[in-house]
Amino acid sequence: MADDELEAIRAKRMAELQQQMGGGEASQHREQQEEMKRRESEMKNQMLSQILDQQARARLNSIALVKPEKAKMVEGMLIQMASKGQLGGKIGDAQLVSMV
């Protein structure tokens, strides 16, 4: 009987350890995803600062406060245009307004 109880305790402990190990992997995966999101955000902000002048950047930030989905759409459009070489220089406030 003692062997059966000991075996049950071992099995329970083994299951707990395996669950903890699985939880550790999930936590690590979540941290990696957060780090990737942070890097993407930094890269996006860096590109936008190269594409937009200060006034246009301020206007885009104001739009993001009121309509975040519209701001993301405009940001994506600007980054895509810049990567294709369709922008001649920095976008000013008036040009940004005409795009919105």
Would you state the pLDDT for residue 2? 65
Instruction: Show the domain range for 28.
Output: 1-99
Would you state the pLDDT for residue 1? 52
Domain count, the chain: 1
CATH code (residue 78): 1.10.8.140
pLDDT tens, residue order, the chain (100 aa): 567 777 888 888 888 877 777 666 667 778 888 999 999 989 888 989 999 999 999 999 999 999 999 999 999 999 898 888 888 888 888 888 888 7
What are 78-86's contacts with CB under 8 Å, separation 24+? Answer: 78/48, 78/51, 78/52, 79/44, 79/47, 79/48, 79/51, 82/47, 82/50, 82/51
Enter the pTM of the model.
0.63
For 90, the 3-state DSSP assignment is coil
